[in-house]
Structure formats: structure tokens, C-alpha cells
């Protein structure tokens, strides 16, 4: 892809991942409405990242939820209010009046039941949006994130940092490593000249703890090294992916 296409693809990935904020996100929304290619890139990233939803733990709805659904849909038995009969209904006699009311009650009941069941199905279909999940512990809420992308091509990893200095890297697409080689993760704080090794990075992702000596914004890099990682404590192979992490504290 050309540089322009690479920039567009990266911006679409950042938009779908939710790492854009303020004017950047508003600009992406406007561009998606006006640029068909950018909108298609967003749709492609949404489809590519959809499997990540499988790692989100399921949330059990409260026990009283179904009762609330039944009540809101009118499925709970309630006394019928009877309107005064018209003059024509009164003149037709008690028997015909009861028959008319019974028929009316039947059709009201079946109609309400039909609408109620349809509404209940609709509510159940979106119950995961109506019922807020249990809040995650503060130590697990990311404080910063970064997308690691190559000089050219699509991003490969997303990194999320939590307040307890845990760094979680997840692959955005299938990544393979050559036989006899390993990927190694490095951190280079802004203003520093020597990167710090954070360990071998398996293609399937990794969770690492960032040492307290590494603070503030930093560049994350993934290099290709010999099996087991670089023996010198510095990258020996080429840096394949990198991204900037705004904060780790």
C-alpha cells in the first residue's frame, strides 16, 4: 500500500480500537461520512477485531430482570378496567353484553400477548446493552494504549497498560515467527537512548510487568531476534513493529 493508504488504514484501526479522543475522533467520524474508502477500512477493521469480543467474560443478568421484562411488556396478570357500556350495548341484554366483552377481552389479550412477546424478544436481544456489566477492578482498567505497526503495512499488535504497571499485548491478526527466531519486546522512554528489554513476545501475545525504573511516555518496539532473545541486552535484529505509549504510571 502507498503511504496514504497506510495512514488511512492505521487511522481506521485506531478509530475502531477506541484510542482516538476529542478532535481526532470527531475528525475520523466526519471523514467516514465523506470518504468511502475510509469507511470501508473501518468496516474491515471492525470485522477483523470482532473475535476480540470473545475474550470478554460473560455477564449474568440480575435474577429479577425477566420479571421486569414481563412487567414492562404487560405479561403479568392485572385486573381489566371496564369502560361504561354504550346505550346500544345496554339495550342488547346481559347475555350479548357479556359475549361482546369476552370477545373484546380475548382479542385485547391475544394482541397484547403478541406485542408483549415480540417486545420481550427484542429486549432479550439487547439485554447485554441494557444491563451494565460489573465494573472491572481499577487495577485492570487501561490507562493508555498503543498500536504497534510496521513501517509499511497493517498494525500487528495492540498494547494496553493498567495502573499496576501491567502491559498486555494482543495480536490484531495472525502473526508467525520463523523457525529458530523469537520476537522480543523493548521499551524506550521518551528522551532515552537505550531501550530496555521486556522479554520475548510470543506471536499470540503476552502480559508483562513494566519495571518501576521505566516511567512516563515511551516507545514500544518488537524486534526479530535469535531464539530466546538478544543475548546482548540490545536489539540485534530489525525492529518490525513499534508504537508510542502515552503513559504507564
pLDDT at 145: 81
The whole-number pLDDT of residue 133 equals 52
pTM to 2 decimal places: 0.48
Give residue limits of the domains in the chain.
1-59, 65-128, 138-249
pLDDT tens per residue across all 249 residues of the chain: 555 777 888 888 888 888 888 888 899 999 988 998 988 888 888 777 765 655 555 667 777 777 777 777 776 654 444 445 444 444 444 444 444 344 444 444 444 444 444 444 444 444 444 445 555 554 555 567 888 888 877 788 888 888 888 889 898 888 889 999 999 999 999 999 999 999 999 999 989 988 888 888 889 999 999 999 999 999 999 999 999 888 776
What is the 3 state secondary structure string of the chain? CCHHHHHHHHHHHHHHHCCCCHHHHHHHHHHHHHCHHHHHHHHHHHHHHHHHHHHCCCCCCCCCHHHHHHHHCCCCCCCCCCCCCCHHHHHCCHHHHHHHHHHHHHHHHHHHHHHHHHHHHHHHHCHHHHCCCCCCCHHHCCCEEEEEECCCCCCCEEEEECCCCEEEEEECCCCCCCCCEEEEEEEEECCCCCCEEEEEECCCCEEEECCCCCCCCEEEEEEEEECCCCCCCCCCCCEEEEEEECCCC
CATH of 138-249, one of 2.60.120, 1.25.60, 2.60.40, 3.30.70: 2.60.40
- Whether the Cβ atoms of residue 194 and residue 230 lie closer than 8 Å to each other: no
Amino acid at each position: 500500500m502507498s503511504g496514504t493508504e497506510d495512514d488511512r488504514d492505521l487511522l481506521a484501526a485506531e478509530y475502531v480500537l477506541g484510542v482516538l479522543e476529542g478532535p481526532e475522533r470527531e475528525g475520523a467520524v466526519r471523514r467516514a461520512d465523506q470518504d468511502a474508502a475510509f469507511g470501508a477500512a473501518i468496516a474491515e477493521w471492525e470485522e477483523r477485531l470482532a473475535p476480540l469480543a470473545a475474550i470478554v467474560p460473560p455477564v449474568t443478568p440480575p435474577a429479577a430482570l425477566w420479571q421486569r421484562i414481563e412487567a414492562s411488556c404487560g405479561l403479568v396478570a392485572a385486573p381489566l378496567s371496564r369502560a361504561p357500556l354504550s346505550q346500544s350495548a345496554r339495550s342488547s341484554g346481559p347475555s350479548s353484553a357479556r359475549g361482546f366483552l369476552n370477545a373484546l377481552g380475548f382479542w385485547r389479550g391475544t394482541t397484547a400477548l403478541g406485542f408483549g412477546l415480540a417486545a420481550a424478544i427484542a429486549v432479550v436481544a439487547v439485554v447485554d446493552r441494557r444491563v451494565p456489566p460489573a465494573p472491572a477492578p481499577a487495577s485492570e482498567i487501561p490507562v493508555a494504549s498503543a498500536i504497534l505497526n510496521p513501517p509499511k503495512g497493517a498494525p500487528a499488535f495492540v498494547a494496553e497498560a493498567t495502573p499496576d504497571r501491567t502491559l498486555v499485548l494482543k495480536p490484531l491478526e495472525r502473526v508467525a515467527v520463523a523457525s529458530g527466531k523469537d520476537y522480543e519486546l523493548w521499551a524506550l522512554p521518551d528522551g532515552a537512548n537505550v531501550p530496555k528489554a521486556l522479554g520475548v513476545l510470543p506471536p499470540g501475545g503476552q502480559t508483562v510487568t513494566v519495571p518501576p525504573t521505566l516511567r512516563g511516555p515511551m516507545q514500544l518496539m518488537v524486534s526479530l531476534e535469535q531464539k530466546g532473545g538478544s543475548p546482548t541486552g540490545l536489539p540485534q535484529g530489525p525492529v518490525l513493529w513499534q508504537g508510542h505509549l502515552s503513559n504507564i504510571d
